[in-house]
Amino acid sequence: MPVGTAGTVKAMLPESVKETGADILLGNTYHLMLRPTAERIYNLGGLHKFMNWAQPILTDSGGFQVMSLSSLSKLSENGVTFKSHIDGSKHELTPERSMEIQKLLGSDIVMCFDECTKFPGSERASLNSMQLSMRWADRSKIAFGNRPKHALFGIQQGSVFKEQREESAGKLRNIGFDGYAIGGLAVGEGQEMMFEVLDYAPSQLPTGKPRYLMGVGKPSDIIGAVARGVDMFDCVLPSRSGRTGQAFTRRGVVNIKNSRHTDDKRPLDSDCKCPACLNYSRGYLHHVFKSNEIICSMLMTWHNLQYYQDLMNDIRTAINNKNFFNYQKAFFEDVKEGDIERV
């Protein structure tokens, strides 16, 4: 799911995002509540109309950004009070307010309000954080109410502690949600440890409902997580990497800023059908990157979003053909992420 933090996927038109095959976009509760405000978006017709996106929108709860971006945040049983990173104004975000904001935005998939457990941290601190998030999940469910054709996802916490993850999953199952997210990962623990948690965390959640790994990630992260039972992903990496000159390809990662691409007539990826690959050479992309031209961010972002959608489509095809693990093996044999000189 491409990330449209402030009501836009950076450097992309919504129509262009749709052309890549994306079905769901993300919006960010924290950023939108501060600017332009959820109430203003509601008065302008809701987030779908506001950002010209007719497909589903998933919004996060705002909890992660409150703790990571705002200054002087103060946590309590009721919620979080904080100062805006934009102008220093004071705000309070609670489970009830988070549900209200996401309703005003018109979100199709709403995330319950939680605290993203800090990593690294002690087992006791993780337990306290997880149990607070579970109490907030209960309040989020009550505040969400009965909203046909809208979904509410619970978020499993518990850091890297298996018993805490199981306790969290049990509480979420008892409350009952339309889907379940795995939170508190991709926060600095590294891929190996993340996979250790994913070896058990997805199976602790109900079967037959979506499992969403929040904020992940690199292509190898996604394939490893799918192998362990995850269905849904979001990450700023495709668009952020595109704006900084990094492209994901079927044979590795390309840093278009490198001088070796100056006279390269090849496309980024000969198997990709995005406009960047069909119409422009690496030499041109290198030139417009070095010239700080906006078109470079546009083309590189489009390519990365297309690559990720093609990746997910290939994964779905392999699963439907009962061939996923062969696909997974071939992927890691063909691509060594970061070995830029190969491509």
**pLDDT tens figures, 102-156:** 999 999 999 999 998 889 999 999 999 999 999 999 999 999 999 999 999 999 9
Band of residue 64 on the pLDDT scale cut at 50, 70, 90 = confident
Same-domain pairing of 113 and 157: yes
Same-domain pairing of 175 and 316: no
Q: Which of 28-32, 56-60, 85-89, 174-178 has the lowest mean pLDDT?
A: 85-89
Does the pLDDT value for residue 252 go beyond 80?
A: yes
Largest CA distance in the chain: 60
Which residue is associated with the tokens 């102008």? Answer: 87
pLDDT at 211: 98
Count: domains in the chain: 2
Residues, the chain:
343
**Whole-number average pLDDT of the chain:** 95
Same-domain pairing of 115 and 92: yes
CATH of the domain at 232: 3.20.20.105
Band of residue 340 on the pLDDT scale cut at 50, 70, 90 = very low
Q: Where are the beta strands (DSSP E) in 16-137?
A: 25-28, 57-60, 71-75, 80-83, 90-93, 109-111
Catalytic residue among 108, 234, 269, 310: 234
Catalytic residue among 60, 114, 221, 310: 60
pLDDT at 341: 40
Instruction: Using the 3D structure, point to which of 204, 236, 268 is the last residue of a domain.
Output: 236
Instruction: Using the 3D structure, point to which of 236, 252, 287 is the last residue of a domain.
Output: 236
> Span 204-228, mean pLDDT?
97
Question: Does the annotation count 178 as an active-site position?
Answer: no
Q: Is residue 342, in this structure, part of any structural domain at all?
A: no
Q: Is residue 339, in this structure, part of any structural domain at all?
A: no
Global pTM value: 0.95
Same-domain pairing of 88 and 220: yes
Q: Is residue 35, in this structure, part of any structural domain at all?
A: yes
Same-domain pairing of 18 and 149: yes
Rounded distance, CA 158 to CA 155, Å?
10
Instruction: Using the 3D structure, point to which of 236, 251, 273 is the last residue of a domain.
Output: 236
Does the pLDDT value for residue 189 go beyond 50?
A: yes
Same-domain pairing of 130 and 51: yes
Q: Is residue 3, in this structure, part of any structural domain at all?
A: no
> Span 169-183, mean pLDDT?
98
pLDDT at 63: 83
Question: Does the annotation count 234 as an active-site position?
Answer: yes
Same-domain pairing of 203 and 313: no
Same-domain pairing of 121 and 212: yes
Full domain range(s) for residue 269: 240-334
Q: Is residue 340, in this structure, part of any structural domain at all?
A: no
Same-domain pairing of 183 and 328: no
Q: Is residue 7, in this structure, part of any structural domain at all?
A: no
Task: Give the residue from 109, 121, 115, 71 showing the smallest Cα distance to 95.
Answer: 115
Q: Is residue 5, in this structure, part of any structural domain at all?
A: no
pLDDT at 333: 85
Render the burial of 78-115: b for 16+ CB within 10 Å, e for the rest: ebbbbebeeeeeebebbbbbbbbbbbbbbbbbbbbbbb
Same-domain pairing of 188 and 278: no
Rounded distance, CA 201 to CA 84, Å?
34
Q: Which of 70-74, 142-146, 184-188, 266-270 has the lowest mean pLDDT?
A: 70-74
Rounded distance, CA 113 to CA 233, Å?
18
Same-domain pairing of 182 and 294: no
Same-domain pairing of 66 and 112: yes
Does the pLDDT value for residue 30 go beyond 60?
A: yes
Other C-beta atoms closer than 10 Å to the C-beta of 295 total 15
Q: Is residue 89, in this structure, part of any structural domain at all?
A: yes
pLDDT at 339: 44
Does the pLDDT value for residue 67 go beyond 80?
A: no
